[in-house]
């Protein structure tokens, strides 16, 4: 990956966590300045953790594949559940 694509990738990750943080913040407070401060701190922490752990994560060559497979399985379960095709407590699994 080029340097610009890494920066763009980090910005997308930051935006994702910020959107998630806004939804979670409204569950606790309606104070917009407090939400903005919390999202700013959260974005900074996520960026610093990502940058500092890039070399460590590169050692796990199958980490990305495993993450993609788990997201695929979770998405499949959610889609099947939305059509009523899968039950977890009702013992029907398709």
Q: How many CA atoms lie within 13 A of 82 on its CB side?
A: 5
Q: How confident is the model at residue 83 (pLDDT cuts 50, 70, 90)?
A: confident
pLDDT of residue 88: 61
pLDDT over 60 at 91, yes or no: no
Q: How confident is the model at residue 33 (pLDDT cuts 50, 70, 90)?
A: confident
Q: How confident is the model at residue 34 (pLDDT cuts 50, 70, 90)?
A: confident
Q: How confident is the model at residue 21 (pLDDT cuts 50, 70, 90)?
A: low
Handedness of CA 68, 74, 77, 83 (dihedral sign): negative
Task: Give strand ranges (E) for the chain.
Answer: none
Largest CA distance in the chain: 50
pLDDT of residue 66: 85
The Cα-based distances of 20 to 38, 46, 52, 56 in angstroms read: 12, 13, 22, 26
């Amino acid at each position: 990956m080029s340097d610009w694509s890494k920066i763009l990738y980090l910005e997308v990750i930051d935006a994702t966590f910020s959107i998630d943080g806004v939804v979670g913040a409204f569950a606790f407070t309606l104070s917009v300045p407090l939400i903005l401060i919390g999202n700013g701190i959260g974005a900074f922490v996520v960026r610093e953790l990502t940058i500092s752990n890039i070399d460590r994560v590169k050692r796990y060559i199958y980490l990305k594949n495993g993450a993609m497979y788990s997201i695929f399985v979770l998405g499949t379960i959610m889609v099947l559940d939305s059509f009523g095709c899968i039950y977890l407590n009702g013992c029907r699994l398709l």
